[in-house]
Amino acid sequence: MKRLTVVLFPLGLATIAGLLVALSGSPQAAKDYQVAYHPEQPIHFNHRLHAGEMQIDCQFCHTYARRSPSSGVPTVQTCMSCHKVVNGRTEAGKADVQKLRDAYAKNEPIEWVKVHDLQDFVYYTHRAHIQIGQDLAKVGDEGFTCQDCHGPVEKMETAELRAWDPELDEQPLTMGWCLTCHIKKSKDAALVIKLKKEAFQQGVPWETLIGKVEATEHDVEMTKYRLRDCWTCHK
Ligand code: HEC
Ligand code: HEC
Ligand code: HEC
Ligand code: HEC
Ligand code: HEC
């Protein structure tokens, strides 16, 4: 709770009271996120083979159309675009590919076990993050990609929950982890937001304004405030 105390400071008591009331009906205490958690899956899907060796783009399989429990995991259809013809390498792999074909024939989904599972009172969305991660890289920030949050998935045999961030020294999926990045990126995010707003008004692509428009201290403060406001992540 140390980090929580730090961020509670600048906020009105009413806000906090409201939030705590809203949260009081929420389940269990914070999950004890395990180190390198990787549950047994119905099919041994190998990221190292598909995303590493074969370099299939992450977003070919993980499309974030909407946010539902299984929104990010590919359908059998996606796998079958190759596995109608591609068999496995190993005996176990061939058996798994057969499972895939059986599921397809019966029009049944594969019941993948969720690796990540934030508690319901936390609001998280991929869309905003994937976009800003790319946009930040255009304004001199190092930006961020899937791997910054999920680790080197393309080197993993099975998708696993990242244990801790070597740079941030934080456990992922905790509030402190989210906030550390939010605070660190506030300044550059404010610039991107400002550029986009100006570009919209002028009817030009936002990238053309890089270096010509700067974010004011006020812009930065507003973004920092929003990115650590309780309601941004708890609504
Ligand atoms: C060919 C399809 C495919 C590609 C390409 C792919 N994945 Fe996956 N991914 C899956 C499947 C299937 C699962 C569910 C099984 C599992 O968890 O291992 C999964 C699971 C995951 C999970 C865990 C999901 C959870 O339950 O929390 C993460 C994180 C992930 N992938 C990230 C990535 C990243 C990052 C890349 C690119 C480097 C990538 N994936 C490329 C198919 C794919
Ligand atoms: C772009 C094509 C492509 C897509 C999409 C794809 N795969 Fe594969 N998969 C391959 C290839 C190629 C191999 C290797 C076959 C070989 O070397 O004989 C393979 C191998 C496998 C194997 C066997 C591994 C082994 O060790 O024998 C399994 C299981 C598998 N894929 C599952 C999946 C699942 C599940 C999905 C969907 C989430 C998927 N694949 C999507 C191309 C694809
Ligand atoms: C800013 C950090 C961050 C980035 C960048 C990010 N993710 Fe995630 N990802 C998360 C969090 C947090 C969750 C857990 C969401 C939940 O449980 O509600 C998650 C969950 C997932 C899941 C589980 C299914 C789901 O949708 O909840 C998959 C699959 C996944 N991410 C893949 C990806 C891929 C692929 C990329 C890059 C295109 C990516 N992520 C980029 C933080 C990130
Ligand atoms: C690697 C850095 C990073 C991490 C880790 C991260 N975020 Fe963010 N997040 C950002 C940035 C940058 C923005 C600003 C994007 C914007 O407002 O356009 C943002 C924006 C948001 C927004 C506002 C989106 C919107 O549409 O207004 C929410 C909600 C959010 N993050 C939730 C979370 C949660 C919850 C976690 C932890 C589970 C998390 N973030 C972890 C970088 C990160
Ligand atoms: C950037 C996103 C983000 C912001 C901003 C944020 N939180 Fe959280 N909060 C989280 C996440 C993620 C968790 C879940 C942590 C876990 O499960 O370990 C969480 C958990 C909590 C919990 C439950 C702790 C527990 O033990 O389960 C409380 C209470 C809480 N937050 C209060 C607040 C308050 C008060 C604020 C504003 C000062 C705030 N949060 C701002 C992301 C955020």
The per-residue pLDDT for range 5-46, each reduced to its tens digit, is: 334 434 444 444 444 444 443 333 334 444 567 888 999 999
The per-residue pLDDT for range 185-216, each reduced to its tens digit, is: 999 999 999 999 999 999 999 999 999 999 99
CB 219 within 8 A of CB 5: no
What DSSP element (H or E) covers 217? helix 217-228
Nearest CA to ligand 3 atom 3: 149
Question: 181-206 burial, b if ≥16 CB within 10 A, otherwise e?
Answer: bbeebbebbbbbbbbeeebeeeeeeb
Q: Is the CB of 181 under 6 A from ligand 4?
A: yes
The per-residue pLDDT for range 126-163, each reduced to its tens digit, is: 888 989 999 999 999 999 998 888 888 899 888 887 76
Q: Is the CB of 190 under 6 A from ligand 5?
A: no
CB neighbourhood size of 106 (10 A): 8
Distance 150 CA to ligand 1 centre (A): 10
Q: Which of the ligands is closest to the CA of residue 120? A: 3
Could you tell me which residues come within 8 angstroms of residue 170 by beta carbon, excluding any fewer than 6 positions away? 164, 176, 177, 180
**pTM, full prediction:** 0.90
Q: What are the residues facing 161 on neighbouring strands?
A: 37
Q: What is the model's pLDDT at position 11?
A: 43
Distance 121 CA to ligand 1 centre (A): 24
Distance 64 CA to ligand 2 centre (A): 21
Q: What is the dihedral of CA 197, 201, 203, 206, to 10 degrees?
A: -20
Q: Is the CB of 83 under 6 A from ligand 3?
A: no
- Report the amino acid identity of residue 26: S
Q: What is the model's pLDDT at position 223?
A: 98
Nearest CA to ligand 2 atom 17: 89
Half-sphere exposure of residue 65: CA atoms within 13 angstroms, side-chain side: 7
Q: What is the model's pLDDT at position 6?
A: 37
Distance 222 CA to ligand 5 centre (A): 20
